[in-house]
Amino acid sequence: MTFGIANNVKSQVVQVCTPELLRQAIDSPHVGRVCAEIKDALEKKQRGEITPQEYEDIKGSMKKQLPILTPHATFRNGRRKNEDAIPSGLSIYDLDHIPNPEGRWEEIAPRQQELGIVMAHVTPSTEGLRLIFIIPQGKSLAEAQAWMAQQLGDTKYDECVKDYARCSFMVPRDYILFMDEEGLFSEGVSAQTENCLSTPLSLCDTSPVSGEESVTTESFHYPSTYQAIPYPLILEVLEEQMGGRPEHGSRNNFIFSMACHLRYICDDDPEWIAKVLPTYGESRDKWMATIRSACNRNQTKRMPRIMERTLEVCKSRLGMKEEQEEVAEQDADTPPPMPKNLPPLIKLLISRTPDIYKAAVAHAVFPALATHLWQTRFRYIDNVEHEATLMNVLMAGTGAGKNCISEPINRIMADIRLRDQENLRREREWKKEIQSKGANKDKRQRPEGLVIQEIDPDMTNAAFVQRLADAENRFLYTKMNEIDQFDSLKGGGRGKAQFQIMCLAFDPNNIYGQTRIGSGSVSERVSIRFNWNASTTVSKGQRYFSQVLTDGPISRINFCTIPEREIGAEMPIYGQYDEGFDEELRPYIEHLCNARGLVDCPKARALSRRLIEECADFSRLSQSRVYENLSYRANVIAYLKAMVLYVAQGERWDKRTEDFIRWSLHYDLWCKMHFFGNEIEMAENAHYASSSKPGPQNLLDLLPDIFTREEAQQMRQKMGLQRGNLKSMLSNWKQRGYIELHGEEMPQTELMRQCYAKTDWYLNKK
């Protein structure tokens, strides 16, 4: 039986499943972890901690992270479409929503051989039983379903499994109740499979590659290009990068290395690689075994530099570089558009805002909203508890209208400012009293309860620490018209010290303060709870952060911008912020003020997991390490925004909130990449270049996964090491289990061509 397997339900490519790939999937820690989370959510639903709908949302989200099988078929072109299906001769049968799947299997198991069942497992929800069975001779897929239902006495069965493209989510090994691996992968096929396999060969791509016969065991029509580059050209350039075609005696090592690189552009599919890679004169069995071995070896997710360089050379030869840069430049100039259907709170806050400013306001209101939360925590998906620390910088051109955020923030902060005024009055009276008394007279202690949350950005570090101490673990807040007003909090322009507050404010469980000897001096150690907004021009903002591009502040701040208006455009007109606006806002603020303790929203956490995967997918496709690094904290920021909305809206969640948070994340990352992406990349490259020169280096890491003695010697010479220790070094690495002999032992006269491979243990360790 030939059926398919893919990384997840969204994967574009389905490859032929092998026993090795199936074992890897069911023994994967990732599969076990995802199914455990689904089971945990089910138990929460049963205890009444989450609603049935919340459980369904979590289950649906988590299942999307699981690998899938396509038991009904493989597919021409490797694409999971019914019109391209090549039936496998297998069928799925589901028994859903049964209280005891294991017990139901015990009833069916004695008839396993009679019914042709080759696999049975509990479904990821743990509330169903899935059977995979061989279709009886002469029956169609639909007829096989009806036949199995009759055999099991099941009057209600899932008819949607008639779909050839139907997938089956993978489960861990302990969910599998029965598996006949020999039957599952048997060579026998049903009549309908034989009919399908008799499709004319014109549907198959059988053209040779590079003048040699390329062998494959499946009649898939794989793509002929990668990023519009023909595979034959990629192969030609990759051969050049690898030093040219191999000599007799080193063909197997060469094929292995080529396959290791090609797997990055062939979706880890050995059959696909076999369509691209020549045999180089090697026997076909050995050639195919080597390709499969390469695909089974653990490798990093990042494309190797040699493959990246190959694609760059190909693009240069095809004249594609300028065209791609133009497209990228056009895309980079456009931030993602805001969703039309917005959460009610955001819809209210931007309702008086001209369209051109709406996106900026939608981001900038969160620090002020979060400042109303007190003693309220949210557990992120990494199990770390956060408070709603949110910092926002609006970067836009001179005269762009950066003041658009002021009035919405004024309305949000109105209640806090009212209380602050009373405490400021009490503080002034106390200061006046102690100043009127002589040095030797008793002076009243500082009054308790001087909670003053909104602070003046033009204040000393001592005053800042005192305000934090007075705040009784509430957030402080300030709005700065220019980002460099932040510097005064650390005494004004003293190196990078002013950025310490930004980083500590974001990180949980931080400690900050100052120690002074004088009795009248501020001496406090506090946690920084500090939310703020700042505005700046683009050029000034870039200069301000230029010295800390890789130090962390940028990743911890939420950025937004205002698009440039056309020359001569009409003046934007604001709506009226009146009592009606304040009355609509009031219940949201009350919800925030009344919240306490650990607030949980399973849908928000499920969304965060999905967004992590979305960012990871884009990072893999763009091969941008900068984007990947920025996305980690950007997702935390998005989660905190989601929780602020969830609390403010009376702990209600809907699709509008989810769509808004997804947009908010991608908009934030767009701004960071647009304003700082190139500069961060250059700074990281410069740091790598300077830090990689001095000090000892891991010489084995500098060598490819498969290397010769000669390459090892050349690397030793390059690193300034003596030639005489080569034998001792390789022997030591073998004894430690770092490397193993690859291929046959070479005679003494050809010893320098002897190949070694890094062991799986070493690669996993790294």
How many Cβ atoms from other residues are within 10 Å of residue 41's Cβ? 23
Amino acid at 386: H
Per-residue pLDDT at 567: 74
State percent of the chain over pLDDT 70.
83
Radius of gyration of the chain (CA): 32
CB-based contact 388:643 (threshold 8 Å): yes
Longest dimension (CA), the chain: 107
Q: How far apart are CA 620 and CA 661, in angstroms?
A: 22
CB burial class (10 A; 0-12, 13-18, 19+) of residue 665? buried
What value does the mean pLDDT of the chain take?
81
Categorize the per-residue pLDDT at 650 as very low, low, confident or very high, splitting at 50, 70 and 90. very high
Highest mean pLDDT among 156-170, 220-234, 590-604: 590-604
Amino acid at 24: Q
Of 628, 630, 659, the closest CA to residue 642 belongs to 659
pLDDT at 566 over 80: no
pTM: 0.51
Overall CATH class of domain 344-436+446-566+574-686? alpha beta
**Residue that has been written with the tokens 């008799």 in this structure:** 198
pLDDT at 162 over 60: no
Highest mean pLDDT among 253-257, 372-376, 478-482, 725-729: 372-376
Phi, psi of 651 (to 5 degrees): 55, 50
Phi, psi of 405 (to 5 degrees): -85, -10
DSSP 38-71: HHHHHHHHHTTSS-HHHHHHHHHHHHTTS-EEET
Q: How far apart are CA 109 and CA 103, in angstroms?
A: 10
Q: How far apart are CA 408 and CA 709, in angstroms?
A: 69
pLDDT at 321 over 90: no
Categorize the per-residue pLDDT at 550 as very low, low, confident or very high, splitting at 50, 70 and 90. confident
pLDDT at 395 over 80: yes
Lookup: tokens for 376: 């309220």
pLDDT at 158 over 50: yes
Per-residue pLDDT at 202: 26
pLDDT at 635 over 80: yes
Q: How far apart are CA 752 and CA 597, in angstroms?
A: 67
Per-residue pLDDT at 725: 72
Q: How far apart are CA 761 and CA 755, in angstroms?
A: 18
Categorize the per-residue pLDDT at 326 as very low, low, confident or very high, splitting at 50, 70 and 90. very low
Categorize the per-residue pLDDT at 220 as very low, low, confident or very high, splitting at 50, 70 and 90. very low
360-383 burial string, b = 16+ CB within 10 Å, else e? bbbbbbbbbbbbbbbebbbbbbee
* Contacts with 104 (C-beta within 8 Å, 6 or more apart), sequence order: 95, 98, 129
Lookup: tokens for 385: 């508890």
Delimit the domains of the chain by residue range: 4-197, 201-330, 344-436+446-566+574-686, 699-765
> pLDDT, tens digit, for every residue of 264-303?
888 788 888 988 898 888 888 889 988 988 888 766 666 7
CB-based contact 457:480 (threshold 8 Å): yes
Of 545, 589, 587, the closest CA to residue 417 belongs to 589
Enter the DSSP assignment of 146: H
| CATH code of domain 699-765 | 1.10.10
CB-based contact 130:92 (threshold 8 Å): yes
How many Cβ atoms from other residues are within 10 Å of residue 654's Cβ? 12
Could you tell me which residue, 567 or 72, shows the higher pLDDT? 72
CB-based contact 26:119 (threshold 8 Å): no
Categorize the per-residue pLDDT at 750 as very low, low, confident or very high, splitting at 50, 70 and 90. low
CB-based contact 336:320 (threshold 8 Å): no
Q: 372's torsion region: left (phi>0), alpha (psi -120 to 50) or beta?
A: alpha
pLDDT at 357 over 90: yes
pLDDT at 181 over 50: yes
Of 269, 287, 286, the closest CA to residue 278 belongs to 287
pLDDT at 379 over 50: yes
Highest mean pLDDT among 171-180, 418-427, 718-727, 746-755: 171-180
**Residue that has been written with the tokens 């460099």 in this structure:** 484
CB-based contact 131:116 (threshold 8 Å): no
Q: How far apart are CA 636 and CA 642, in angstroms?
A: 10
Per-residue pLDDT at 196: 36
Amino acid at 117: I
Q: How far apart are CA 653 and CA 634, in angstroms?
A: 21
pLDDT at 667 over 60: yes
Per-residue pLDDT at 464: 85
Of 15, 22, 8, 6, the closest CA to residue 183 belongs to 22
Q: How far apart are CA 512 and CA 501, in angstroms?
A: 8
How many Cβ atoms from other residues are within 10 Å of residue 202's Cβ? 7
